[in-house]
Amino acid sequence: MKTVLITGASSGYGRETALYFHSQGWNVIATMRTPRAGVLPESDRLRVIELDVTKPETITAAFEAAGPVDVLVNNAGVPSIGVFEGTPMARVRDVFETNTFGVMATTQAVLPQFRERGSGVVVNVTSSVVLGHMPLSAVYKASKMAIEGFTASLSLELAPFGVQAKTVEPGACLTTNFAATATNDASVDELVPAPYAPWAKKTMDAFTGQDLFTKESDVAETVWHAVHDTTGQLRFPAGPDAVWLAQAK
């Protein structure tokens, strides 16, 4: 029986991916910054472990507690919507700490066991922002584009050892806690200087009014497909809007 470790599994894509792999008979290590009861069902094939991707000591402790794993899904992430001119550099660094450096840190932690075993898959969840030119996302997109490039190069380094690295690119989903934070957080207004406000409102209205959206289940199923794909495909858009963007490139 195979084991998957998923970061950011307390809600949204991470939680749905944990439930999906569990339903397929896998052992699931669901990690989250603040473990709490009731988020996931009780099962002898599902364990909840504390892991904050910005804290190296929790990464080490989590992998020690998890034991051998076959797949790492780097799902944990933080949103950032706003105008770059109005975004403090401290906020930029916070976004990169989780979305970029955190992904690299957890990946580095799992690679020795994958390499020594001669198998394993790393799936890095990025975003459909990497597929198109999207406003109000300069910092967020930069953090995710960095992981796209990281994964592309990493996959070449790992290939001689039978280890794979891939990205899943979810489209826009308005039903996750992540999306609620991104679109309703009071700090969004703080990141939009007054001269940009009319344009930013029009842009956000267009975004929330689009026809195609992604569901959490789209992402979970795409992660599953990416893990099992044997064609050498590197990037996997998830959700109808992401697929449309990928095909339009």
- Among candidate residues 13, 20, 140, 196, the one labeled active-site is 140
Does the pLDDT value for residue 187 go beyond 70? Answer: no
Neighbours of 136 (CB within 10 A): 23
- Report the range of poorest mean pLDDT among 27-36, 117-126, 163-172, 182-191: 182-191
Residue 20 appears among annotated catalytic residues: no
Does the pLDDT value for residue 1 go beyond 80? Answer: yes
- pLDDT for 58-101, tens place per residue? 999 999 999 999 999 999 999 999 999 999 999 999 999 999 99
Half-sphere exposure of 200 (CA within 13 A, CB side): 19
H or E stretch at 122: strand 121-125
Cα–Cα distance measured from residue 72 to residue 56, given in angstroms and rounded to the nearest whole number = 16
- The pLDDT score that the predictor gives to residue 236 is 98
Does the pLDDT value for residue 139 go beyond 70? Answer: yes
The pLDDT mean for the chain works out to: 94
* Residue 43, beta-bridge partner list: 46
Helix (H, G, I), strand (E, B) or coil at 123: strand
Mean pLDDT, to the nearest integer, of 16-37?
97
What global pTM score does this model have? 0.94
Homologous superfamily assigned to 3-248: NAD(P)-binding Rossmann-like Domain (3.40.50.720)
Helix (H, G, I), strand (E, B) or coil at 114: helix
Model confidence at 178, in pLDDT bands (50, 70, 90)?
Answer: low
Q: What is the DSSP letter of 9?
A: T
Give the Cα-Cα-Cα angle 229, 141, 144 (nearest 5 degrees).
40
